[in-house]
Amino acid sequence: MKRQPIICIILLILLLSSLMPVISSNIIIFEDTSQIYYESPIVSIEYPEDNTTFYISQNISINGYAFDDIGIVEFGYTIIWNTGYFTEINPINSTTYYEFDLPVMIYKGQNEITVHAIDNEGNWGNMTITIYFQNDNRILYVDDDGDADFTRIQDAVNNARDGDTVFVYNGTYNDYFSENNACVRIDKNIRLIGENKYNTIINGNGVHRVIIIWSEVTSISGFTIQHGKDKKDRDWILGIDIQYHESDDIKIFDNIITNNSYGIFTHQSSSNIHIYNNIIIRNCYGIFCEFDYSQLNIYNNTIKDNEYGIFSHNSKIYITNNLISNNTIGISDGGSSSNYSIFQNEISNNKIGIRLDTSITTIKHNNLINNDKQVEVTMDFLMIAFSTYLIYRQDWISNYWDDWTTENPRPIKGRANIYILILRIHPKLTTPIKIAILPYFEYDENPAQDPYDI
């Protein structure tokens, strides 16, 4: 009789154990009801660790793991910092390892990062960490009214270090430094930012240069850059002069560049120059590239009322999405360009829309509207190389011509100058002599029937 309690206890344990859930990963099965319950996805942030401090200029990559047995249908992250709120959602079928880069941080302070995942049943898993950003670069302020660190832009540039920002408040800045041959000489990797391009004015007053760049990485934005001379004056007056031969990342954007002999001048710069979102108006040359063997990118600018909108000897130049209008000549290749791309521009109301001289150029998806002369093409050939006459041509691809209303190929008439070489003793061994001028034709084989939305 004393064994009955023991037997009852054993039976009770067996009964209870039959009701206990069977646990496998994050799936819970209750056998008595046949119901399945799913745990939340497992989310981890492996890097960075919680409460890590970074510099603002660092590029931060977040990585970790998100896992769920039944598949993750949504993965994303949310960032809350002291300047606002940012979130990004990435629908996916499933994931294990993830990695993404943080957006660029602007201000120092505390930032919370939450990574989340949602499974097929709507269960939500997440992990949150806190990281901090501190300034490693400085902002130097300039105000001609005297309410900032400096009253002259050059003084701020002189005191800047690589990576710093010089911020200039609204005002007119007329200072010229003869030792620099410029109002502002930039020889450090800095950002020069104006408060407002309409009201932050660097006025050269007809001096040699307004701004000269002798640095590898520089950006200039938010200014009116002018010298005050008539646009037809071809004195050596430069709005922005990019001189450094090892420049690697130069950005000129969101400026008004006006009343200069040369609005933007580049000379043998190295690579990766971006000129965009500017208003370039009433200069002799809007953009002038002299024997510049870099890659030059010109896009989203308004270039108007210049003698030459763009003039370039550049070997790699990309002209895209610009409004080029009311110039004497909209685009001129300078007679020595190759790898020249003119894509999706509005070229209108110029005396000559595009002038090409002995170059290899791709002209694609542009609007050529109401130019006195849409295109002028001149090619030079040596007699010994005359066989190239039929193959040395531009590539015209589906441009819109307002003076051509059929689907037939649009002819582009030019001229071919034929030369022979004459042997001479002095001063040169050979001299080219023009012996003939022949008609020259190229064709846009499939001209667009309607203007592009540019």
How far, in Å, CA of 181 to CA of 187, rounded?
13
pLDDT tens readout for residues 111-170: 888 888 888 788 888 899 888 877 678 899 999 999 899 999 999 999 998 889 999 999
Q: Residue 431 forms beta bridges with which residues?
A: 422
User: Based on the domain organization, do 88 and 109 belong to the same domain?
Assistant: yes
User: Based on the domain organization, do 30 and 49 belong to the same domain?
Assistant: no
User: Based on the domain organization, do 200 and 57 belong to the same domain?
Assistant: no
Query: pTM of the full predicted structure?
Result: 0.69
User: Based on the domain organization, do 209 and 186 belong to the same domain?
Assistant: yes
The reported pLDDT for the residue numbered 37 is: 52
Category of 17 on φ-ψ map: left (φ > 0), alpha (ψ -120 to 50) or beta? alpha
Is residue 121 helix, strand or coil?
coil
Q: How confident is the model at residue 342 (pLDDT cuts 50, 70, 90)?
A: very high
User: Based on the domain organization, do 296 and 353 belong to the same domain?
Assistant: no
**Average of per-residue pLDDT across 392-401:** 89
Burial (CB < 10 A; 0-12, 13-18, 19+), residue 200, is buried
User: Based on the domain organization, do 233 and 341 belong to the same domain?
Assistant: no
316 within a domain of the structure (yes/no): no
- Which H or E run contains 7? helix 4-19
User: Based on the domain organization, do 166 and 205 belong to the same domain?
Assistant: yes
Convert 364-396 to b/e letters by CB count within 10 Å (16 or more is b): bbbbbbebeebbbbbbbbeeeeeeeeeeebbeb
How far, in Å, CA of 69 to CA of 98, rounded?
16
Query: Of the candidates 106, 115, 105, which has an alpha carbon nearest to the alpha carbon of residue 62?
Result: 115
314 within a domain of the structure (yes/no): no
Domain termination site, one of 104, 134, 164? 134
Which are the contacts of 275, defined by CB distance < 8 A and separation ≥ 6?
252, 253, 264, 287, 296, 297, 298, 299, 301
179 within a domain of the structure (yes/no): yes
Q: How confident is the model at residue 320 (pLDDT cuts 50, 70, 90)?
A: very high
CATH number of the domain residue 290 falls in: 2.160.20.10
The reported pLDDT for the residue numbered 203 is: 95
Range of the domain at 32: 4-38
User: Based on the domain organization, do 223 and 327 belong to the same domain?
Assistant: no
Convert 231-261 to b/e letters by CB count within 10 Å (16 or more is b): beeeeebbbbbbbbeebbebbbbbbbbbbbb
CATH number of the domain residue 73 falls in: 2.60.40.10
Domain termination site, one of 79, 99, 134? 134
Q: What DSSP letter does each residue of 161-187 carry, written as one string?
A: -TT-EEEE-SEEE---BTTTTBSEEE-
For the chain, the domain total comes to 4
User: Based on the domain organization, do 48 and 33 belong to the same domain?
Assistant: no
Decide if pLDDT at 190 tops 80.
Answer: yes
Domain termination site, one of 308, 343, 358? 308
How far is CA 87 from each of CA 62, 111, 179, rounded to the nearest angstrom? 14, 13, 50
What mean pLDDT is reported for the chain? 82
Pairing of strands 109-119, 72-81: antiparallel
Decide if pLDDT at 89 tops 70.
Answer: no
User: Based on the domain organization, do 294 and 434 belong to the same domain?
Assistant: no
